[in-house]
Structure 1
Amino acid sequence: MDFAFLFNNIIELTITGLALGAIYALVALGYTMVYGVLQLINFAHSEVFMYGTFAVAWMVFFLHGSDSVSQGLGKAFPLLLAALVAAMVMSAAIALLLERVAYRPLIKRGAPKLIILISAIGASFSLAEIMGLRDQISGWIGLEDNLDVYVGKARDVYSLPVTIQPHDLFPIGNYTVRDIDVLVIGAALAMMLGLDMFVRRTRFGRGIRAVAQDSESAALMGVNSSRVIQLTFLIGGLMAGAAATLYMIRIGSTRQNAGFILGVKAFTAAVLGGIGNLRGALVGGLLLGVVENYGSAVFGSQWKDVVAFVLLILILLVKPSGLFGEALGKARA
C-alpha cells in the first residue's frame, strides 16, 4: 500500500477522479430516471451509452476521415460539437427503441417486474452483440466494403482518428488543471443543473414527478403515463449520449462491450447517491470517481473496481437508501 503516493498526488487524483466521476454521473441519471418512474432497473442503459460512443467515432470518421491527427480542444470543437449531436441522437433513439420493444408491451400486460428485468438484461446482451456483428450485418446487405471504416474488425477496439491534446490552464498545488478536466466536470454539472430545473420547474417535469409518486392518481388527473415514460427514456438517452462524447474525448476509443463495466459503475453511483434521486446520482458519480482514483493510488490500478464495489457495500450496510434517499416522486416542486 502506497499512502505516500496518495498524499503527494492527492490534488491530481481528486481532479481526475471528479472528471471520471462526472461521466459516471451522467450515465447514472438514466438509471435513476427510469427507476424513479417505473421502479425498474434499466440494465440495457449501458448499451445506450455504448452506442453513443460509436456515434461519436463514426461522426468523426465521416467529417474528418481516417487520417490520424492530434488537435487541441479549441480546434477540434466544431467536430466534437457535431459528434455530441450525433451521440445524443443515437443514444436517445436506442433508449426509445428499448422502451418501445423491451418495456412497453410487458408494462401494458401487467407483467411482473422480474420479467421486465429479464427483458432488460436480454436487450442489453442483444444490443452489444448486434454492435459486435455489424461487419456481418453490413455484409448481408452487400455494403461491407463501402462501410469498412465503420464496421471492420467489429469486436476490436475502435479508436478515434483525432486525438484530443489537453492544454494546461492553471495550477492547483502540484497539479496543473487541464482544459479537458474543466470541460468534463463543467459539462456534467451544467447538464445536471439543467435536468434538475427541468424536473422541478416545468410542466413535463411535474408530470414525471407525479407518475413517479403515484401513477394511478396521476392518470386520474389527466397525466399521460405512457408519454411520461417515453420522455423519461428520452432524457436518459440524451444524458448517456452526452456522457459518451465526454468519454470519447478523454479515452478516445470504444468497443462493443465498452458499456458493461462503465454501466455497472454508473448503476453503483446511482445506488450510492440514492437510486431515484437526481442530485444523488451526481454526488454518487463524483464520489465514486474520486474514491476509485484514491484506491488505485493506494492499492494499485488492478484493485480499482474492487474499491468501487466495496464502497457500495459499505454504504448499503450503513445507509441502504444511499446518501440521498429522497425518491424522484418526492422531490420538492
Structure 2
Amino acid sequence: MSGDSLAQHLANGISLGSLYALIAIGYTMVYGILLMINFAHGDIVMMACYFAFFGITVFHIPWYITFVGVIIATAILGVVIERTAYRPLRDAPKNSVLISAIGASFLLENLANYLFSGRPMRFPNIELLSQNISIGGIQIQAICLVIPVITIISLVVLLHIVNHTKTGMAMRAVSKDYEIARVMGVDIDKIISITFIIGSSLAAIGAIMWGIRYPGITPMMGVMPGLKCFIAAVIGGIGNIKGAVLGGFILGLGEILIVAFFPQLSGYRDAFAFIVLIVILFYKPTGLLGEKTTEKV
C-alpha cells in the first residue's frame, strides 16, 4: 500500500471515528446521569437529517440557518422524549425504562416512515462542504476536515461545562446519587433535561455531518450508526465522555483500515464493531476508561 493510499484511508477513518464519537457522547451522558441507555438516540439522529432535508429542499431556508434550526428542533425533540417516555418512569424498575426507550425508538422510526415514506431521500448537497480538496497526493472531501475539528471543539466545550460550571457540578452530583443531590437542593428534572438538550444537540450536529458525508436518508438510517455509537461508548467506558470519543475513533479507524488492508473482509466491516466489543468486555468489562461502579438501588 502506498503512502498516499494509507493517508487517504487514515483521513477517512478519522472522519468516521469523529462522527461516531460525536454521537456516542449523547449515549454516554444520559447513561452517566440516569444509568439508562437512550435507545432512541440513533433515531434522533435520523429525525435531525429529515429536519435538515425539509428545511433546505422544501422551505428553501439557507443551509447555515437551517443547521441552527435543526440543532434547536432536535434538542426540543430530545426533551419531549425525556419528559414523555422517561420522566414518568423515573422511580420505576430499570426494565420498565429500558422497554420505554425501545418503544420510543420504534415510535420515531414508524413515525418517520408514516410522515416521510420509506423512499430513500438524498441529503441536500452543500457545495462548500462536499467539494474535494487536494492535499499532497490525496483527495479529501472538505467535510472530512471539518468533522474532526467540530468533534474536538464539542469535546472541549462539553468538558468545560461538566468540570467548570455550576450546571456541570450539578450533573456530576446527580450522576453519583440523584436522591442525595435532590436533598442538597439540585433541581433533578432541570439537570436531566439539560443533559438531554446537550446530548440531542450533539446528535443533531453529528446528523448534519453524517448527512453531508453519507447522503442517503431513510427512516431506518439511524439504527446501525446508533448501535455502533452505543458500542463506541461501551468500549471507551460508558458514562465517560473522553471514553466515548476514544471508542468512536477506535471503531472508525478500525472499520476503514481493516477494509484497506484486508479487502476480502469488506463484507464483514460491520462485524468489526461487535468483535471489538466482545474482546473489550471480556478483558475490561467497564471499558477502556471506565471505572468500577456499584449499581444504584
Residue 163 (structure 2) aligns with: 200
Structure 1 pair 311–9 and aligned structure 2 pair: CA distance change class (3 A) = farther
Q: Which secondary structure state, in structure 2, belongs to the residue aligned with residue 324 of structure 1?
A: coil
What is the one-letter code of the residue matched to 1:89? I
Q: Deviations over 1:234-278 (max 9, x none)?
A: 111100000011111111221111110000010011001110001
Partner of 2:36 in structure 1?
A: 40
The aligned runs of 1:210-221 (5 Å cut-off) are 210-221=173-184
Instruction: Report the Cα offset of residue 162 of structure 1.
Output: 2.5
How many pairs align? 289
% identity of equivalent residues: 35
Decide whether the 8 Å contact of 1:170 with 1:178 is kept in 2.
no
Query: Residue 82 of structure 1 is aligned with which of 65, 82, 92?
Result: 65
- Aligned twin of 1:111: 92
Task: Say if 1:327 and 1:320 are closer, same or farther in 2 by CA, change over 3 A.
Answer: closer
Counterparts in 2 of 1:36 and 1:290: CA distance versus 1, 3 Å? same
> Residues of 1 paired with 2:41 and 2:210: CA distance?
15
1:317 deviates by 1.2
The answer to whether the Cα contact below 8 Å between 2:16 and 2:252 also exists between their aligned partners in 1 is yes
- Where structure 2 has 5 or more consecutive residues not aligned to the other structure, the ranges are none
2:258 paired residue number? 295
1:325 pairs, out of 287, 290, 293, with: 290
Aligned counterparts of 1:326 and 1:80: Cα–Cα separation in 2? 42
User: Could you tell me which residue of structure 1 aligns to residue 273 of structure 2?
Assistant: 308
CA–CA distance in 1 between the matches of 2:4 and 2:275? 24
Q: Distance in 2 between matches of 1:200 and 1:247?
A: 29
For residue 258 of structure 1, give the secondary structure of its aligned residue in structure 2: coil
Residues in 2 aligned to 1:64 and 1:230: alpha-carbon distance in whole angstroms: 31
Q: Tell me, yes or no, if structure 1 residue 233 matches structure 2 residue 196.
A: yes
Contact 2:19-2:147 at 8 Å conserved across structures: yes
Q: Contact 1:17/1:290 (CA < 8 Å) preserved in 2?
A: yes
User: Counterparts of 1:308 and 1:10 in 2: how far apart (Å)?
Assistant: 21
Q: Does 1:20 align with 2:3?
A: no
Are 2:47 and 1:51 equivalent residues in the alignment? yes
Partner of residue 96, structure 1: 79
Equivalent pair of 1:36/1:275 in contact (CA under 8 Å): yes
Cα distance in 2 for partners of 1:225, 1:128 equals 29
After superposition, what is the alpha-carbon deviation per residue over 1:102-135, rounded to whole angstroms, capped at 9, x for unaligned? 101111xx2100110011001100111001001x
Give the distance between the partners of 1:38 and 1:161, measured in 2 at CA: 36
1:12 is aligned with what amino acid? Q
Q: Would you say the 8 A contact 1:295–1:304 is kept in 2?
A: yes
Q: By how many angstroms is 1:326 displaced?
A: 4.2
After the TM superposition, which of the residue ranges 294-303 and 32-41 deviates more from structure 2? 294-303
Between 1:176-185 and 1:16-25, the stretch displaced more is: 176-185
Instruction: Tell me which structure has the larger Cα radius of gyration.
Output: 1
Of 152, 160, 177 in structure 2, the residue corresponding to residue 189 of structure 1 is: 152
Residue identity opposite 1:229 in structure 2: I
Residue 168 of structure 1: SS of its match in structure 2?
strand
> How far 1:320 sits from its partner (Å)?
1.1
Query: Structure 1, residues 176-230: CA drift from partner, whole Å, max 9, x if none?
Result: 4442211111111111111111111111111001100121221121111111111
Partner of 1:264: 227
User: Which of 282, 287, 291 does residue 245 from structure 2 map onto?
Assistant: 282
Query: Is the 1:272–1:281 Cα contact (8 Å) retained in structure 2?
Result: yes
1:169/1:202 Cα in 2 relative to 1: closer, same or farther (>3 Å)? Answer: farther
Structure 1: where are the runs of 5+ without partners? 66-78, 135-150, 329-333
Would you say the 8 A contact 1:26–1:243 is kept in 2?
yes
Cα distance, 1:313–1:170 mapped onto 2, change above 3 Å: same
Determine the C-alpha separation between the residues in 1 that align with 2:12 and 2:274.
Answer: 19
Aligned counterpart, 1:148: none
CA shift at 1:169, angstroms? Answer: 4.8
How far off is 1:287 after superposition? 1.4
CA contact (8 A) 2:86 2:100 kept: yes
Shift of the 60–163 alpha-carbon distance from structure 1 to 2, 3 Å rule, reads: same
**Partner residue in 2 for 1:160:** 123
